[in-house]
Copies of this chain bind each other. A is one copy, B any other.
Amino acid sequence: MNFKLIFRTLGLLLIVEGIAMFLALIVALIYNGTDVIALCQSALICMGTGGILFFVFRNTGKEMGKREGFVIVSLVWVLFSFFGSLPFILSHTIPDLTNAFFETMSGFTTTGSSILNDIESLPNGILFWRSMTQWLGGMGIIVLSLAILPIFGIGGMQLFSAEVPGPVADKLSPRIQATAKKLWVIYFIFTVAEMLLLWIGGMSFFDAINHSFTTMATGGYSTKQASIAYWSSPFIQYVIIFFMVVAGTNFTVSYLMLTGKFRKAIQNEELKYYLFFISVFTLIIFGGLLISNELGFEQSFRDALFQVVSILTTTGYATADYLHWTPFLTIVLFAVFFFGGSAGSTGGGLKIMRIVLLLKNSYYELHRLIHPKAIIPVRFNQKPVSDQIITNVLAFFMFYFVIFFSSSVLLMLVVPDLPSAMGAVATSLGNIGPGLGIFGPAENFSALHPAGKWFLSFLMLLGRLELFTVLVLFSPAFWKR
């Protein structure tokens, strides 16, 4: 293991984080808030530490290997969360390390679970930093760094594949930096577009920036304690719905659409299933709300669509408290916790593509029972999917559910009831935000035992890096040689 190279790379990335903090500092200066000094200190600590690491470990020797890639990517998310919690701690907005780390990890992993009981009391610079952790984490720390820094050389591929491990339909461009840049340009364009629309719709400019950051990242942090329910305007809610759907779509598909290649874009199989799942769940809940509530046709539809899209894309905004629906509708929505965005989107969770591959493979397994000799490969986008990918997807599901169940059991040590524990684990692992029971959309995680907060932070990281990148570090074989 080339530790020198690892430290040098981490140093470089910390400098990037420091630069990002300076942007928040500018916001703080504009509003002349109480958070100017804290943000300034944090940015300097970040860049100082990063600079020291970068210059001390110079003679790093040979190229970056697969194993270094896994270590760097796992560590950088932890490190970013530690340093990223400095603004909260130093400004005394979240004085406690456990809470500040939870909030920052929840930010970078675009989970959106919060421990804040009075969001509106925070100064604007801090709020901006909080939203920005999500925006940076949404497209990926490594992907960002690859896009802006030409320094990684061939090692970038190792880092990229460790951070974006999902089953990606289209082969990645071998020119990894060009891909990273393209992704960030699309991401940026969508963010600006949403910001303008929200501003036109009546949000303040500051709120519009923050919400476009956290929508496009499928993050879900809001500048208001009441989340999107604060704005009753249907226009604002539909705009956010639209951009949540966009954020959960494969960015390659969005790129095709933006460049006018509509026909090719809508042929994407994952897109079809993604929209299909959204429609089915929306219809069920819409029907249920019509029967059980007296909200009227339009609001029932909007509430159903908003909550389904928000959970399925793993954003986690709320316009309605789904815990006040009938138990059946609440649980239908809880099922949506186990879907997630498309591969190559900022959405987390199990991911639509994996679910479709899984369902197809299970269906074919029945065929194999009747015709044991026949070889029936699973097809996706008209192409046969290799056995290796299928095995990987199946192993992913196994780990996901084993971790989901055993973590829910463990969390019962500090949480009084099963739905709350299961909801907290599902929302952390899926990078969603709100949970069930005592962690519903109208509540937050402030009352959770500190051990539970660290544990959920770990699950967020596991989920964001799609399990394997982190799990492999716990395998003895990884460290042998």
The residues of A with any CB-CB pair to B shorter than 8 Å are 66-67, 327-328, 331-332, 334-335, 338, 358, 361-363, 365-367, 369-370, 387, 390-392, 394-395, 397-399, 401-402, 405-406, 408-409, 412-413, 416-419, 421-422, 436, 468, 471-472, 475, 477-478
Contact = CB atoms under 8 A, between A and B. Distances in A.
A70 to B, nearest CB: 8
Contact of A335 (B369, B406, B417): B406
A10 to B, nearest CB: 21
Contacts of A387: 387
B328 A412 contact: yes
B327 A402 contact: no
Contacts of A362: 395, 398-399, 402
Given A405-B335, A409-B331, A417-B327, A477 B392 contact: no
Nearest to A399: B362
Q: How many copies does the complex hold?
A: 2
B370 A418 contact: no
B369 A405 contact: no
A480 to B, nearest CB: 9
Contacts of A436: 418
B468 A366 contact: yes
Contacts of A394: 391, 394-395, 398
Contacts of A475: 363, 366-367, 370
A84 B397 CA distance: 40
Contacts of A418: 327, 331, 334, 418-419, 422, 436
A335 B367 contact: no
Contacts of A477: 366-367, 370
Contacts of A334: 409, 418
A130 to B, nearest CB: 32
B472 A395 contact: no
A472 B369 contact: yes
Contacts of A338: 405
Q: Is the interface of A mostly helix, strand, loop or mixed?
A: helix
A390 B391 CA distance: 9
Contacts of A358: 398
Contacts of A478: 366, 370
Nearest to A371: B477
A27 to B, nearest CB: 41
A76 to B, nearest CB: 19
A472 B366 contact: yes
A241 to B, nearest CB: 24
Given A367-B475, A395-B362, A399-B362, A416 B335 contact: no
Contact of A468 (B66, B327, B369, B471): B369
A465 B327 CA distance: 31
A395 B66 contact: no
A395 B327 contact: no
A320 to B, nearest CB: 19
A350 to B, nearest CB: 12
Contact of A365 (B369, B391, B416): B391
A358 to B, nearest CB: 6
Contact of A392 (B66, B331, B365): B365
User: Which 6 interchain pairs have the tightest Cβ spacing?
Assistant: A365-B395, A394-B394, A328-B412, A366-B475, A331-B412, A418-B419
A370 B66 contact: yes
B366 A471 contact: yes
Nearest to A329: B412
A416 B402 CA distance: 26
A4 B364 CA distance: 29
B331 A408 contact: yes
A472 B408 contact: no
A164 to B, nearest CB: 14
A394 B362 CA distance: 9
A163 to B, nearest CB: 14
23 contacts: A327-B416, A328-B409, A328-B412, A331-B408, A331-B412, A331-B418, A334-B418, A335-B409, A358-B398, A361-B395, A362-B398, A365-B392, A365-B395, A366-B471, A369-B472, A370-B475, A370-B477, A391-B394, A394-B395, A397-B398, A401-B401, A418-B419, A418-B436
